[in-house]
Amino acid sequence: MNSFATADPEPILEVKDLVKHFASSGSWSWQQRRKTRAVDGISFKLLPGSTLALVGESGCGKSTTAKLILQLLEPDSGDIRLCGESVTKPKKNALRRLRRNVQMVFQDPYASLTPHLKIGAILREPFLVKGVRPRYEINERVRFVLTAVGLDPNIAQRFPHELSGGQRQRVGIARAIAGEPRLIVCDEPVSALDVSIRSQIINLLLDLQKSCGLSFLFISHDLDLVAHVSDVVAVMYLGKIVEQAPAATFFAQPRHPYSQALLASSPIPDPRRRTKPAIRGEIMAGTELGAGCRFRNRCPLAVSLCAAAEPELQTITESHEVACHRADETAYTHEASQFQTHANK
Amino acid sequence: MKHVAPIPAESQTGTSGSGTTAFHGAAEPALEIRGLQVRFPSDQGPVSVIDGIDLSIAKGEILGLVGESGCGKTMLARSILRLIPPPGRVTGGKIMFDGVDLLGLNHERMRPIRGDKIAIVLQEPMTSLNPALRIGDQITEVLKAHRPLLSQAERNALASDLLEQVGIQMASQRLTQYPHELSGGIRQRVVIAMALVCGDVRLLIADEPTTALDVTIQAQILELFTRLQAERRMAVLLITHDLGVIAQTAHRVAVMYAGRIVEIAEVNQLFDSPRHPYTRGLLLSLPRRGVGLPKSQLPAIAGSVPKLSNLPSGCSFYDRCPHHLEDRCQVSVPALEETRPGSWVRCHRWRELPAFELPADVKP
Q: What pLDDT does A124 receive?
A: 95
A97-127 burial: b if 16+ Cβ within 10 Å, else e: ebbbbbbbbbbbbeebbeeeebbbebbbbbb
- Partnered with residue B260 across adjacent β-strands are B257
For residue B19, pLDDT over 60 is answered with: no
Q: What is the DSSP letter of B351?
A: T
A210, pLDDT greater than 80? yes
Chain centroid to Cα B96, Å, comes to 16
How much of chain B is helix, strand and coil, in % rounded to 5? 35, 20, 45
Question: CA-CA distance, A340 to A263, in Å (whole number)?
Answer: 12
Name the band, by pLDDT with cuts 50, 70 and 90, for residue A126. very high
pLDDT for res A3: 44
CB contacts of B64 in chain A (<8 Å) are: none
Q: Give the sign of the dihedral formed by CA B76, CA B81, CA B84, CA B90.
A: positive
Interface mutation target, options A169, A195, A268, chain B, most CBs of B under 10 Å? A195
Give residues with Cβ within 8 angstroms of B34, minimum separation 6: B15, B20, B23, B54, B93, B94, B95, B96
Residue scoring higher pLDDT (B13 or A254): A254
Length of chain B: 364
Instruction: Tell me the average pLDDT of chain B.
Output: 87
> How far does the CA of residue B187 sit from the closest CA of chain A (Å)?
12
Which residue among B214, B220, B294 places its CB closest to the CB of A228?
A: B294
d(CA B305, CA B311): 9
Residues A281, A283, A287, A293: what is their CA dihedral angle, to the nearest 10 degrees? 90
Q: Are strands A183-187 and A215-220 parallel, antiparallel or unpaired?
A: parallel
| Whether B219 and A273 lie within 8 Å, measured CB to CB | no
Tell me how far CA of residue A159 lies from CA of A113, A155, A156, B12, B331, in angstroms: 9, 8, 8, 51, 33
**What whole-number distance in Å separates Cα of residue B342 and Cα of residue B335?**
16
Task: Give residue B151's Cα distance to chain centre.
Answer: 34
- Gap between the Cα atoms of A241 and A250, Å rounded: 14
Does any CB of chain A come closer than 8 Å to the CB of residue B126?
Answer: no
A115: closest CA among A169, A159, A172? A159
- Phi and psi angles of residue A154, each rounded to the nearest 5 degrees, phi first: -70, -10
**pLDDT band with cut points at 50, 70 and 90 for residue A110:** confident
Q: Is B40 on the interface with A (CB under 8 A)?
A: no
How would residue B1 be classed by pLDDT, with cut points 50, 70 and 90?
A: very low
Q: Which of B338, A121, A179, A43 is CA-nearest to residue A113?
A: A121
Of the pLDDT bands very low, low, confident and very high (cuts 50, 70, 90), residue B304 is: confident
Across the interface, do B248 and A228 touch by the CB < 8 Å criterion? no
User: How far does the CA of residue A226 sit from the closest CA of chain B (Å)?
Assistant: 9
> Is B271 in contact with A268 (Cβ distance < 8 A)?
no
The ipTM assigned to this model is 0.86
User: Which residue, B259, B243, B200, B255, is CA-closest to B4?
Assistant: B200
Is residue B26 scored above 80 in pLDDT?
no
Using an 8 Å CB-CB cutoff, list chain B residues near A298: 216
B300 touches chain A (CB under 8 A): yes
Is it the case that residue A295 has pLDDT exceeding 80?
yes
- Is A229–B295 a contact, with Cβ atoms under 8 angstroms apart? yes
Q: Is B99 left (phi over 0), alpha (psi -120 to 50) or beta?
A: left
pLDDT of A264 above 80: yes
For chain A, the residue count is 345
- Put simply, whether A71 touches B (Cβ < 8 Å) is no
pLDDT above 70: residue B65: yes
pTM above 0.90, yes or no: no
Is B299 in the A-facing interface, judged by CB distances under 8 Å? yes
Interface A:B, Cβ pairs < 8 A: 143
Taking the CA of residue A190 and the nearest CA in chain B, the distance in Å comes to 12
Of A2-11, A314-323, B26-35, B302-311, which one has max mean pLDDT?
Answer: A314-323
Whether the per-residue pLDDT at A146 is higher than 80: the answer is: yes
d(CA B283, CA A153): 31
pLDDT of residue A30: 63
Q: What percent of chain B has pLDDT above 70? A: 91
- The residues, any chain, with a CB within 8 Å of residue B130's CB and separated by 6 or more, are B138, B179
Residues of A in Cβ contact (< 8 Å) with B242: 267
CA distance B166 to chain A (A): 13
* Stretch 204-263 of chain B: residues touching chain A, C-beta under 8 Å: 214-220, 222-223, 241-248
Cβ pair A271:B248 closer than 8 A: yes
Name the CA radius of gyration of chain A, rounded.
22
CB contact under 8 A, B305 and A224: no
Residue A27 forms contact with B (CB below 8 Å): no
Which of B50, B53, B51 lies closest to B34, judged by CA? B53
What's the rounded mean pLDDT across residues A109-134?
A: 92
> Residues B260-275: what's their mean pLDDT?
95
Distance CA A117, CA A157 (A): 10
* pLDDT value at residue A32: 65
Contact A275 B219 (CB under 8 A): yes
My answer on whether omega of the bond before A134 falls inside 30° of 0, hence cis, is yes
Q: Do B289 and A251 touch (CB under 8 A)?
A: yes
Contact A203 B219 (CB under 8 A): no
**pLDDT-based confidence at A259, cuts 50/70/90?**
very high
Query: What is the percentage of chain B residues whose pLDDT exceeds 90?
Result: 65
CB contact under 8 A, B281 and A196: yes
Q: For chain B, say whether A200 makes contact (Cβ under 8 Å).
A: yes
Is B219 within 8 Å of A228 when comparing Cβ atoms?
A: no
Hey, are the CB atoms on A267 and B297 less than 8 Å from each other? no
Q: In 10 A of CB B178, how many CB atoms?
A: 15
Distance CA A201, CA B10 (A): 51
pLDDT(A27) > 70: no
CB–CB of A194 and B305 under 8 A?
yes
Average pLDDT rounded to a whole number, residues A197-207: 95
Choice among A18-27, B168-177, B276-285, B345-354 with the minimum mean pLDDT: A18-27
Q: Which residues on chain B are in Cβ contact (under 8 Å) with A277?
A: 216, 219-220, 222-223
For residue A281, name the pLDDT band (cuts at 50, 70, 90): confident
The answer to whether A233 contacts chain B (CB < 8 Å) is no
> pLDDT class for A8, splitting at 50, 70, 90?
low
Predicted confidence (pLDDT) at residue B249 exceeds the cutoff of 50: yes
- With CA atoms as reference, the chain A residue closest to B242 would be A195
For B81-123, where are the E strands, in sequence order?
Answer: 89-97, 100-101, 118-121
List Cα–Cα distances, B281 to A198, B206, B284, B361, in angstroms.
12, 25, 5, 18
Number of H helices, E strands in chain B: 12, 12
Instruction: Place B361 in a pLDDT band, splitting at 50, 70 and 90.
Output: low
| Pairwise pLDDT comparison (B11 vs A168), residue with the higher score | A168
Q: Do A270 and B362 touch (CB under 8 A)?
A: yes
pLDDT, tens digit (0-9, with 9 covering 90-100), for B211-247: 888 888 899 989 998 999 999 999 999 999 999 999 9
For residue A339, pLDDT over 90 is answered with no
pLDDT average, residue stretch B25-50: 88
Give the C-alpha separation, A182 to A82, whole Å: 10
